[in-house]
Structure 1
Amino acid sequence: MVTSVAKGRTPHSEPDYIARAEALAEGFAVRAAEHDRTASFPFENFRELSEAGLLSLTVPAAFGGAGAGARYAARVLGIVGKACASTALVLSMHYINHFVMARSPAWPVRLSRKLAHETVEGLALINALRVEPELGSPARGGLPATIARRTETGWRLSGHKIYSTGSPILKWYLVWARTDEAEPRVGQFLAPAGLPGTRIVETWDHHGLRASGSHDVIFDDVVIPLDAEIDVRKPQEWRAPDPVQATVHTIFVAAIYDGIARAARDWLVSFLKTRAPASLGAPLATLPRAQEILGGIEARLAVNARLIDSFASDFDDGLQLSAIESNIVKLTVTNNAVAAVEDALSPTSNHGLSRKNPLERHYRDVLCGRVHTPPGRHHENHCRAHCARYLANHHMEFPDVGRVHRLYR
């Protein structure tokens, strides 16, 4: 088991993976519009990612992967997100789960090694299936309706999951379920995709991230082995979020939405340089207002880059990062990304919202950041309550300036 954040990293190889991602991104960007239009899953993107060794980027070197840290993984996700946000979202979930399983004592070494080797050798993606029609997001509490019933030889899994990102290509599901015990426990059960009783219902018809394959997955008395129980606890023991998962989720998801905003910025620059209305007699880029808008976008993206890179570096260096800090970074980066794309729309008139141009797709995709866990309003209320408790406990003193500074350095 890899327990140290730094253990297994291969920093000298990491820039090579950045170059590989940049090379693949060109093709991803070309195909993105058609996948968005048809809501088709980009299988070819993942075949190319696998061939380039990028699916195993966050797999520990001890298990045959690249052992890259969060900083380089975020860079890869930003590059992929700029080209095809749906591909990046599926990839980020895969990266997050490999980060967690390599560092969590709850994961049996045999299973984490098995899944790692499968990822190194081929297409073997994993994601957690947590959200349900009645429950909503488990982040807000409540018992899942999905039930794991103990048998003499293992478990039988029954339930209905929604928003199962990457479902068309996943090889492994981490299913959030409760046991059928008198006092139910809650946690994750590892289930291979395609078992008898498992079916995918193609329900995903969304405003943004349309190619992410976030369909429903139904489990009808699916038989899984006894050791499929990965991390199952009493419900009250899940109140505190896992710090590793919270941090890498923040970093990776933030990198995707920042990548979308950078794609919008690039299109805007090209548009302003080439669009020359007859009434103006010069490109729009010559207008002070257009330059001001572009400057504001660049400022937001600069803040995002600093936050993502600094936060990821802190994690890679082994610093203890709280869930509150993680959520603040996610909220700030996402809000900046949404604002940047909205600003990019403002000088483009009808052109920016035309389906023949990618800016409207970037706008639809980036808006998904507002509902991605933790959603903005939920987190703002959480932060407000946290600050109120902090001030009450510290006799209205201001929080540690040094700690806040580290977030924005």
Structure 2
Amino acid sequence: MSTPDLSPGALAEVTAEIASTAAEYDRSGDLPWKGLHVAHRAGLLTATVGKQYGGPGLGPRDVVRILTAIGEGDASVGLLASNSLMSHAGQAARLHWPKAYYDDLLERSKNGPALVNAIRAEPELGAPARGGLPKTTLTRTGDGWVLNGRKAYATGGTGLAYHVVWAVADERVGHVIVPADLPGITWIDTWDHLGLRASNTHDVVYEDVRLPADAFVEIPRGPDGVYRDPAAMAGPASFGHPAQYVGVARAARAAFAAFARSRIPSSLGKPIAETERIQAVAGEIDLQIVQAETLLHGALLRLEAGDTAFLPELSAVKVAIARSVIAATQTAVAALGNPGLTRHNPLERHLRDALCIRVHPPQEDAVLLAGGRRVLTPR
């Protein structure tokens, strides 16, 4: 696998090609295969495959550039790409997949998009980052495991090549690597969401799915013996999701500018882009995006420089990025009134997609509570 071209021009071409089908998939709800194939041909879906496997082994800053470009084209493609890139990066950092499974994933990735997702949420439990343990279970057999349970919000649906399923096994908590074509896997079409409509984030049921002994990977408990969900805290590898939504905000800025340049009210006799009011609105949108991008790349640069004292603040940075992304898109829609809310204008889709940034862990209320306690605790 060669290193993908991440030059501004090459990424802009990817964005434009993916964007050309985004509205189509948003309306149909089908998996956005055309956009995924664009990302695959550009080498972006395997950019984090480790060098030990012959991959580019790109790091977090390159990943956020990739996902910003893809998200600007189609947020659903961005989410699917982000999940796969995180899975490859995790394997590169710590070998945990059964060799035969990962070899198969890499082989499939040569011929087309081979999607992976960590499938964690459950209908009763909700988001794992809120605490609690999964009801999905692994039971030992003579030579392996049997998986049973139901998961919610399993992004990728039937388009996945592999599932990484959060489960309990012998009172241990961890993830089990599951080929998507095994018997006993049933999909339930539950996804009818405001945004990310083409992401196919449906429910999935596992019934007596048989797996080899090495398919389960335990997540270690903390020094106090308590299990803590790793997704509840932000880390260097967790900025892929915010990056894709920064791309959405950029798409909203472009849509706003295109409308403003073309809209010529008869009472004005010139494009509204030439009025100070619209220029000031465009400036506010741009300010929010500049702020989000500076936070995104600045946080990763600080981590690259070895600033470990910054780690407790990463979750707050993600919340600040989310606020800026939503503010940018809402400002664009509000300034245009009805035209910003019509489905003939991509702005309403960008707003719907941007609002989905709030669901990714850690959520804002938990971050503010943790930050407040940190500030108020005597030192």
Distance 1:352 1:193 in 2: 40
What corresponds to 1:207 in structure 2? 194
Distance 1:17 1:51, change over 3 A: farther
- CA–CA distance in 1 between the matches of 2:231 and 2:136? 21
Counterpart residue number, 1:4: none
Task: Give 1:37 shift.
Answer: 0.9
- For 1:329 and 1:119, how far apart are their aligned partners in 2? 36
Match of 2:179 in 1: 192
The alignment partner of 2:168 has SS state of: strand
Matched residue SS, 1:68:
coil
SS in 2 for 1:206: coil
Identity of aligned residues (%): 35
The superposition leaves residues 146-176 of structure 1 with CA deviations (integer Å, 9 ceiling, x where unpaired) of 0100111100000001101112221111110
Aligned mates of 2:179, 2:8 — CA distance in 1: 30
Correspondent of 2:364 among 376, 382, 390: 376
The one-letter amino acid paired with 2:186 is R
| Two-structure CA RMSD over aligned residues (Å) | 2.4
Distance 1:368 1:297 in 2: 19
1:350-391 C-alpha deviation (Å, 9 max, x unpaired): 1000011100000000011122212222222222122222xx
Query: Residue 129 of structure 2 aligns to which amino acid in structure 1?
Result: A
Aligned residue-pair number:
376
**Whole-Å Cα distance in 2 between the matches of residues 113 and 18 of structure 1?**
31
Describe the SS at the equivalent of 1:356: coil
Distance 1:24 1:168, change over 3 A: farther
8 A Cα contact 1:63 1:116, kept in partner: no
The AA in structure 1 aligned to 2:283 is G
- Counterpart of 1:117 in structure 2 is 106
Cα deviation digits, residues 206-236 of structure 1 (max 9, x gap): 0000000111111001101000012244584
Superposed displacement of residue 117, structure 1? 2.9
Aligned with 2:374 (options 386, 396, 406): 386
- Letter matched to residue 26 of structure 2: D
Report the counterpart of residue 148 of structure 2 in structure 1.
158
What TM-score comes out, normalization by structure 2 length?
0.92
Letter in 1 for 2:265: P
Change in CA separation of 1:323 and 1:157 when aligned onto 2, cut-off 3 Å: farther
Q: Among 259, 264, 267, which residue is 1:271 paired with?
A: 259
> Contact 1:156–1:222 at 8 Å: present in 2 too?
yes
Q: Tell me, yes or no, if structure 1 residue 238 matches structure 2 residue 227.
A: yes
Instruction: Name the counterpart of 1:399.
Output: none
- Structure 1 length-normalised TM: 0.85
Counterpart in the other structure of 2:165: 175
Match of 1:54, as an amino acid?
L
CA distance in 2, matches of 1:25, 1:58: 19
* SS of corresponding position for 2:176: strand
> What does residue range 276-291 of structure 1 map to in structure 2 within 5 Å?
276-291=264-279
Ranges in structure 2 where 5+ consecutive residues have no aligned partner: none
Q: Choose 194-203 or 48-57, whichever is displaced more.
A: 48-57
Supply the distance in 2 between the matched residues of 1:22 and 1:302 (Cα, whole angstroms). Answer: 18
CA distance in 2, matches of 1:145, 1:109: 24
**Matched-pair contact (CA < 8 Å) for 2:231–2:362:** no
Do the aligned partners of residues 132 and 76 (structure 1) sit closer, same or farther apart at CA in structure 2, a change above 3 Å counting?
same
Q: Match of 1:222?
A: 209
**AA paired with 1:304?**
A
| 1:95-134 map, 5 Å | 95-104=85-94, 107=96, 110=99, 114=103, 117-118=106-107, 120-122=109-111, 123-134=113-124
Corresponding residue number in structure 1 for 2:284? 296
State the distance in 2 between where 1:304 and 1:85 align: 17
**Contact preservation (8 Å) 1:65, 1:116:** no
Rounded to whole Å, the distance in 2 between the matches of 1:225 and 1:79 is 38
More displaced 10-residue stretch of structure 1: 310-319 or 184-193: 310-319
**Which deviates more, 236-245 or 155-164?**
236-245
1:29 lines up with 2:19 in the alignment: yes
SS of residue in 2 equivalent to 1:281: coil
1:322-341 correspondence to structure 2 within 5 Å: 324-341=312-329
Q: Give the match's secondary structure for 1:347.
A: helix
C-alpha spacing 1:311/1:117, structure 2 compared with 1 (3 Å)? same
2:78 aligned with 1:88, yes or no? yes
1:199 shift after superposition = 1.3
Cα distance in 2 between the residues matched to 1:19 and 1:67: 22
